[in-house]
């Protein structure tokens, strides 16, 4: 089956970025000049998904406005002959069909995914956490869709994280699938734990915010008790799913930028700006003048 739908949980409060996020969704913070969530939406499109489902909450209308048409702005840009900007603005609303569903209470990632159940229906789907912006030669989601096509099983993106930092993640206990075409990147998962203590982490393979899930996950989440932080954790739902179906980890190729963290956000801003034709050399020259 083809993966057509991509779910973006976006109901979180974004307290780490207060006061910037007091009246603005954290997903709308710009990396250079593009909101964080748009990077994820573009990745989902590049991977062949054509239906975007955004799980929103109170105070998130700016996300809906962003992916909608903006008549006044378009008219103004047209009158002023700013055709390049007009194209950029139109491309966003023309990009894709977006559906929204509200998560009334922020009760965890597993709960957010459950909110999308009706819109997803009985088919495999992708989940993208917008905070994790991933750059690389092949879109991260596309790499995992290939693995899904070969296995017809849920696939979770993983990355090596060494040291105590591992306890900020979900962690898999798995072993590489030696045969097949995935060069040791595909892992059989035996178990998964959400935010373990460093000493208790089953491996150094951390879960990164890109998932392909079979619809069986909804039934598993129905039966999942509240976990870390008193929330319904997707990782715990996946552990129950493991009892019914195979779940694989996929150590993806690419660089992950943790834009949910202030330092990660700043680093990503600099890296993305340095890659831009219109900004890169100016920023590079400026950085060189800093006495660091």
| DSSP string for residues in the chain | ----EEEEE-----GGGTTTTSSS-GGG-EETTEEHHHHHHHHHHHTT--EEEEEE-TT-HHHHHHTS--HHHHHHHHHTT-HHHHHHHHHHHHS-EEEEEE-SS---HHHHHHHTHHHH-SS-EEEE-TTEEEESSS-HHHHHHHHHHHH-SEEEEEEE--GGGGGGSEEEEEEE--SSSSTT-EEEEEEEEES--GGG-S-SEEEEEEEEE-THHHHHHHTPPP-GGGS--HHHHHHHHTTTS-EEEEE-SSEEEETTSHHHHHHHHHHHHHT-TTTHHHHHHHHHHS--
The smaller minimum CB distance to ligand G1P, of residues 214 and 235, is found at: 235
| Residues 8-67 interacting with ligand G1P (rule: CB under 6 A) | none
For the four alpha carbons of 73, 78, 82 and 87, in that order, the dihedral sign comes to: positive
Query: In whole angstroms, how close is the CB of 28 to ligand G1P at the nearest point?
Result: 17
Nearest 5°: the CA angle 102, 105, 108 is: 100
The smaller minimum CB distance to ligand G1P, of residues 27 and 77, is found at: 27
CB closest to ligand G1P, residue no: 170
The smaller minimum CB distance to ligand G1P, of residues 93 and 204, is found at: 204
| Residues 168-227 interacting with ligand G1P (rule: CB under 6 A) | 169-170, 194, 206-209
The smaller minimum CB distance to ligand G1P, of residues 66 and 256, is found at: 256
Sequence-separated (6 or more) residues with CB below 8 Å from residue 244: 216, 220
Q: Report if residue 236 touches ligand G1P, rule: CB under 6 A.
A: no
The smaller minimum CB distance to ligand G1P, of residues 4 and 16, is found at: 16
The smaller minimum CB distance to ligand G1P, of residues 92 and 144, is found at: 144
Query: In whole angstroms, how close is the CB of 18 to ligand G1P at the nearest point?
Result: 17
| # residues near ligand G1P by CB under 6 A | 13
Are 13 and 131 in contact by the 8 Å Cβ rule? The answer is no
19 cis-preceded (ω within 30 degrees of 0): yes
Query: In whole angstroms, how close is the CB of 232 to ligand G1P at the nearest point?
Result: 10
Query: In whole angstroms, how close is the CB of 114 to ligand G1P at the nearest point?
Result: 14
The smaller minimum CB distance to ligand G1P, of residues 36 and 92, is found at: 36
| Residues 72-131 interacting with ligand G1P (rule: CB under 6 A) | 109, 129
Piece of 18-26, 86-94, 119-127, 228-236 that binds ligand G1P (CB under 6 A): 228-236
Q: What's the CA gap between 142 and 140, in Å, rounded?
A: 5
Piece of 44-52, 92-100, 136-144, 231-239 that binds ligand G1P (CB under 6 A): 231-239
132, 159, 241, 250: which one binds ligand G1P (CB under 6 A)? 132
Query: In whole angstroms, how close is the CB of 282 to ligand G1P at the nearest point?
Result: 32
Q: Report if residue 235 touches ligand G1P, rule: CB under 6 A.
A: yes
Query: In whole angstroms, how close is the CB of 194 to ligand G1P at the nearest point?
Result: 5
The smaller minimum CB distance to ligand G1P, of residues 52 and 206, is found at: 206
Q: Applying CB under 6 A, which residues contact ligand G1P?
A: 109, 129, 132, 169-170, 194, 206-209, 233-235
């Amino acid at each position: 089956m083809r993966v057509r739908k991509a779910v973006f949980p976006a109901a979180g409060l974004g307290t780490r970025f207060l006061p910037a996020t007091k009246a603005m969704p954290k997903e709308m913070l710009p990396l250079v000049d593009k909101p964080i969530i748009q990077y994820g939406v573009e990745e989902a499109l590049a991977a062949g998904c054509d239906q975007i489902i955004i799980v929103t909450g109170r105070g998130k209308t700016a996300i809906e406005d962003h992916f909608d048409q903006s008549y006044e702005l378009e008219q103004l840009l047209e009158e002023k002959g700013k055709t390049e900007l007009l194209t950029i603005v139109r491309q966003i609303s023309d990009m894709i069909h977006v559906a929204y569903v509200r998560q009334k209470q922020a009760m965890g990632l597993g709960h957010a995914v459950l909110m999308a159940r009706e819109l997803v229906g009985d088919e495999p789907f992708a989940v993208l956490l917008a905070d994790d912006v991933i750059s690389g030669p092949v879109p991260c989601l596309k790499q995992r869709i290939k693995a899904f096509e070969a296995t017809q099983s849920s696939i979770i993106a993983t990355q090596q994280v060494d040291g105590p930092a591992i306890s900020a993640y979900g962690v898999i206990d798995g072993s590489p699938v030696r045969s097949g075409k995935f060069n040791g990147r595909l892992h059989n998962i035996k178990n998964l734990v959400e935010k373990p203590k460093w000493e208790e982490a089953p491996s150094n393979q951390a879960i990164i915010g890109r998932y392909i899930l079979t619809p069986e996950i909804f039934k598993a989440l129905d039966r999942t008790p509240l976990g870390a932080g008193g929330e319904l954790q997707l990782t715990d739902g996946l552990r129950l799913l493991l009892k019914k179906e195979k779940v694989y980890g996929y150590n993806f190729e690419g660089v992950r930028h943790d834009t949910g963290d202030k330092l990660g956000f700043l680093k990503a801003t600099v890296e993305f700006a340095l890659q831009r034709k219109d900004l890169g050399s100016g920023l590079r020259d400026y950085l060189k003048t800093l006495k660091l």
